[in-house]
Every structure is written in structure tokens, then in C-alpha cells.
Amino acid sequence: QAKEQGRNTYRFYTPTLTTAANERLALDARLRRALANGEFVLHYQPQFESQSGALIGCEALVRWLSPEEGMISPARFIPLAEDTGLIVPLGEWVLRTACAQGRVWLDAGLPALTIAVNLSGRQLQQPDLVQRVADILEQTGLPGERLKLELTESMIMGSGDQTLDLLRAIKALGPRLSIDDFGTGYSSLAYLKRFPIDELKIDQSFVRDIPQDESDMEIAATIIAMARNLHLKVIAEGVETPEQLAFLTSQGCHACQGYLLGHPVPANEFVRTVFGRASGLHPV
Ligand code: C2E
Ligand code: MG
Ligand code: MG
Ligand code: MG
């Protein structure tokens, strides 16, 4: 009779669910070990001013160098790390490593960049986030103005005074705040005005099909115009073609980031290829 029940209810579902749950548990364990073993690395992708072409910053993007599988994209582990809370220590490692790298570059006499770091919602919920950012800036010696934190719309929309206070306290340390993937979430103009945001980052989904898709061009142009009216900077991500760069620049988009201008690369390669080109320094 148990067999009978099993057949009618759980039989076809349990094995799949169990497999998925076990896979997540196993991946979570591997991720925790990976963090302890130093298997994460940061790649840096350059950001350029659209008009002048000047190198102005870079975004730090995490990768997992798994001994078994090689380089693993954040799309495969960040969502799970967010679910399990591992994103908090991992995100702190990212922030510390990116700030330390920024300081190394300054000490080497390379042109000053702004280093952008992605924050997740779980990190924003940490009551001691401000102190952690302050400690990392102090310990690494990166000037606060050299750091930019990328948030997403969902992290601030609908949030209360507590989040507002937290972001103001972070801003008081010097970092700038950017809204990543802008246009994919729900944003209210009131929030954009009320929160101490410095920059909108146009999501790559609106850039990808420029100039074929007219509505994407309209959306990108509208975001750029809105940023101008709100006195915010605006950067486009996912810029892959000269046509996209030309259109965004003509609309007044301040900065661009994408494969056309540079892929995310390890720090040593960034110095060789990106700084080398932008500063006229000889490659090391
Ligand atoms: P994101 O912050 O929106 O980063 C942009 C993604 O677009 C990166 O993917 C980047 O490599 C990719 N990209 C850059 N230029 C181009 C282009 O021209 N064309 C196309 N098709 N893609 C381009 P990546 O490195 O795989 O990161 C994916 C996402 O993972 C990031 O999206 C971000 O949400 C998350 N992520 C990465 N590193 C971290 C981190 O340290 N902390 C947190 N919380 N999230 C991170
Ligand atoms: Mg980002
Ligand atoms: Mg983005
Ligand atoms: Mg994205």
C-alpha cells in the first residue's frame, strides 16, 4: 500500500527534487571550500569615457578557477551563493581584493581609475556593511572616491529609511553608487531622486540590438535623457559594435563598457593591454 501511494503521489517527483537539492548542497560545499582555498579570482573590464575615449575605470568581475572544471562564470554560482548567504563572505573578499588591486595600481603610478564592485542584496542587509566598507578602504589604502558600488533596482526600490541611511553612510566614505542592469527592473523616479545614486548603468539587453531594434534605441536614449535630467551619470554595458558606441555617444551617454572596448581580464593582463594602451606606458 505504501508502494501504491508512492506510485500515485511522489514516485515521479521525488528523485528529481532530491537530485537538484543534493546538487545544490554539493555545490554550496564546493563553493565554501573554494573560498577557503583561494580559488576565486577577479577579472577587470575597462570603462571608457565616450567622447574622449579616456580610460576612467573598470569593473571587477569574479570568476571561480575550479581545479576540476577550470574557469566558472559567476552566473553559475552567484545565484546559489546569494541563496545560501555565502555571497556575504565572498562579496567581502571581492571588495577587499578589488580595493587592494586599485591601491597597487595607484602605487605603481598608473592613472587613477574608479573600481566598480557588484554588491548583492544580502550584503546590503548586513547591519555592519558600512563599517566593513570603511575597514576595507582603510586597510587597503584605496581612497574612497576611487570605489564605485553597483547595486540593482530591486535592492533599493521599495526599501525604507534604513537602506537610505546605509547608502548615505557609505557615500560619506567616498564611494559612488551605480544602478546596474538599469531598465530591467522596476524603478520609480521618486526613488531615483530620493536615493543618493550617482549613475545609471544601461542594461546590455537594450544595447545588444542597437541599431536594428528601434525600440531598444528609444529606451537607451530615454534612459540617457532621464539621467541627464536627474543629474546622474550614465554608462552603457555590453557595447560590442562601433555603431552602438556611436549611437550611445551621440545621445550623450557618458561612458561605455563592452567587448568592443575590452573584455574582462586578469589584473596583469589589464596592466599590459589596457593601461599600456591608454597611458602610453610600455607593456611590462
Ligand atoms: P553585471 O554586473 O551586469 O556584469 C556584466 C556582465 O556582462 C559580465 O558578465 C561581463 O563579463 C559581461 N559583458 C561585458 N561586456 C560584454 C559585452 O560586450 N557583451 C556581452 N554579451 N557581455 C558582456 P560576468 O562577468 O559573467 O558576470 C555576470 C554577472 O554576475 C554580473 O553582471 C553580476 O551581476 C554578477 N557578478 C559578477 N561578479 C560579481 C561579484 O563580485 N559580486 C556579485 N554580487 N555579483 C557579481
Ligand atoms: Mg555590474
Ligand atoms: Mg550589468
Ligand atoms: Mg547583468
The answer to ipTM > 0.90 is yes
Answer whether 217's CB lies under 8 Å from 250's CB.
no
Dmax (CA) for the chain in angstroms is 79
- pLDDT of the residue at 7: 52
Cβ 118 under 6 angstroms from ligand 1: yes
- pLDDT of the residue at 127: 87
- pLDDT of the residue at 121: 95
- pLDDT of the residue at 160: 87
Per-residue pLDDT of the chain (284 residues; tens, 9 = 90+): 444 454 555 555 566 667 888 888 999 999 999 999 999 999 999 999 999 999 999 999 999 999 999 999 999 999 999 999 999 999 999 999 999 999 999 999 999 999 999 999 999 999 899 999 999 999 999 999 999 999 999 999 888 899 999 999 999 999 999 999 999 988 888 888 899 999 999 999 999 999 999 999 999 999 999 999 999 999 999 999 999 999 999 999 999 999 999 999 999 999 999 998 554 444 33
Cβ 10 under 6 angstroms from ligand 1: no
Ligand 1 pocket: which of 45, 61, 76, 82 to mutate (most atoms <8 Å of CB)? 61
Cβ 94 under 6 angstroms from ligand 1: yes
Buried b (16+ CB within 10 A) or exposed e, 251-281: bebbbbbbebbbebbebeebbbebbbebeee
pLDDT 10s digits, 64-101: 999 999 999 999 999 999 999 999 999 999 999 999 99
Cβ 284 under 6 angstroms from ligand 1: no
Q: What dihedral do alpha carbons 105, 110, 111, 112 form, nearest 10°?
A: 20
Number of residues that this document lists for the chain: 284
- pLDDT of the residue at 254: 98
**DSSP letter string, 129-190:** HHHHHHHHHHHHT--GGGEEEEEEHHHHTT--HHHHHHHHHHHHTS-EEEEEEETSS---HH
Cβ 91 under 6 angstroms from ligand 1: yes
Query: Considering only CA atoms, which residue is closest to atom 2 of ligand 1?
Result: 118
DSSP state at residue 272: I
Cβ 192 under 6 angstroms from ligand 1: no
Beta strands 255-256 and 40-49: pairing type?
A: antiparallel
Cα–Cα distance, 7 to 9 (Å, whole number)? 6
Residue 88's Cα: distance from chain center in Å?
A: 15
pTM: 0.92
Query: Considering only CA atoms, which residue is closest to atom 41 of ligand 1?
Result: 62
Cβ 74 under 6 angstroms from ligand 1: yes
Query: Considering only CA atoms, which residue is closest to atom 34 of ligand 1?
Result: 118
Query: Considering only CA atoms, which residue is closest to atom 42 of ligand 1?
Result: 118
Structure-block grid coordinates of residue 175: 564611494
Cα–Cα distance, 95 to 86 (Å, whole number)? 14
- pLDDT of the residue at 283: 39
Centre of ligand 4 from the C-alpha of residue 259, in Å: 14
Cis preceding linkage at 211, omega within 30: yes
Centre of ligand 4 from the C-alpha of residue 267, in Å: 21
